[in-house]
Amino acid sequence: MKRFARVVLILPAYFLSLLAQNTNPVTPRGEPENLADTINRLIRYHDFGEYDLEIREVVDAARDFLETRVREARKDEKLAAVFDIDETSLSNWDTMFDCGFCSYRTQLKLYPNAKGSAIIPVLELFKFARSKGVAVFFVTGRPEKERPSTIQNLTDVGYSGWTGLIMRPDGNQEPARLLKSRNRQEITDKAYRIVLNIGDQASDLAGCCAERAFKLPNPFYLVP
């Protein structure tokens, strides 16, 4: 009888120990953050105002610099500003969100007629530059075949009067950091002095030839 009682006492403790083991599973040490958690953080960053606030801070600094630079410019200087398009001048948030932050190429396949909306602080900076006589060039990684739709989109949301729109040659696979640097060199070869370059990727700003570069936030995708 005593032996049976001892077994009765031991069994609950044994099963409790198994339960404790099951509530502390072994997990991989090097496992990255779950994609769902990452996406939720991106959505909160965008929707709760932090993204817009950081854009405004960068653009305000760019405007202050441009205002000073124009005031101090020599009479013979042809000042220019370079603007990237996607996630700089235009926002593709709706299509990015719908496709789970897929690449731009995938967005084109899934949403061939999608239009970006103006990023308002950047549109204001564009208009300010134009009002000061600064020539504005769009330099984008979009392929040349998208020129008509890109012009239409930019015009529809309020961008007008730019000096040039430089796009990626169809079929060109050159990294943006090299292609865009060469594009800016082409602008300076026309006797312009690029005083401001604004984009959302480090590759938008790498290389020559701007006096000052301003990077907007973009944790949504990366362009080398």
Model pTM above 0.85? yes
Other CB atoms closer than 10 Å to residue 122's CB: what's the count? Answer: 27
Does residue 100 come out as left (phi exceeding 0), alpha (psi in the -120 to 50 range) or beta? left
Domain ranges of the chain: 36-91+117-215
pLDDT tens for the chain, 224 residues long, are 544 444 444 555 555 555 555 667 787 888 898 989 999 999 999 999 999 999 999 999 999 999 999 999 999 999 999 999 999 999 999 999 999 888 777 888 899 888 999 999 999 999 999 999 999 999 999 999 999 999 999 999 999 999 999 999 999 999 999 999 999 999 999 999 999 999 999 999 999 999 999 999 999 999 99
Report pLDDT for 19.
54
As a whole number of Å, the end-to-end CA separation of the chain is 77
Report pLDDT for 200.
98
d(CA 153, CA 118): 9
Question: What single letter denotes the amino acid at residue 213?
Answer: A
User: Residues 124, 109: contact at Cβ < 8 Å?
Assistant: no
| Backbone angles phi and psi of 110, in degrees to 5 | -80, -30
User: Residues 184, 202: contact at Cβ < 8 Å?
Assistant: no
Report pLDDT for 108.
82
> Which residue's entry shows tokens 């032996």?
3
Report pLDDT for 106.
87
Report pLDDT for 18.
55
Question: Which CATH code is given to the segment(s) 36-91+117-215?
Answer: 3.40.50.1000
> Which residue's entry shows tokens 């960053």?
45
Report pLDDT for 140.
98
